[in-house]
Amino acid sequence: MACELRRTRYDQIAKGFGCGGENITKLSQVGPALERAFRSQVPYVLNVNVQGARSPFTQWQLDGRGK
């Protein structure tokens, strides 16, 4: 609760296990990456970076309303 997760390169972790993977940073990259993933002959991870957002509960706690 009330933590910020760091960006983790799950695509690189997957490659370490012999899988395929890509890091997606732009919406325009999703379609072509999906095509490569479906053509791949191995499990494939698309690590899609999205903008983080706090949950309403976390913000409520941080604002001190949970006391």
Is residue 4 one of the residues assigned to a domain? no
Instruction: Determine the structural domain holding residue 29 and report its residue range.
Output: 10-50
- The per-residue pLDDT for 66 is 62
Grade residue 61 by pLDDT with cuts at 50, 70 and 90. Answer: confident
In-domain check, residue 23: yes
Single-letter amino acid code for the residue at 55:
S
C-alpha distance from residue 5 to each of 26, 51, 53 (Å)? 20, 12, 11
Could you tell me if residue 27 is inside a domain?
yes
Say what the pTM is.
Answer: 0.69
Domain count, the chain: 1
* Predicted pLDDT at 4: 67
Task: Kindly state whether residue 55 falls inside one of the protein's structural domains.
Answer: no
Helix boundaries (H) for 1-53: 10-16, 30-39
The Cβ of residue 61 has, within 10 Å, a number of other Cβ atoms equal to: 15
What pLDDT score was predicted for residue 18?
Answer: 97
46 located within any domain: yes
Indicate if the pLDDT at residue 2 is higher than 80.
no
- Residue 56 counted as domain residue: no
User: Is residue 25 situated within a structural domain?
Assistant: yes
Cα–Cα distance list, 16 to 9, 19, 25, 35, 40 (Å) = 11, 7, 21, 22, 16
Per the domain annotation, does 14 fall within a domain?
yes
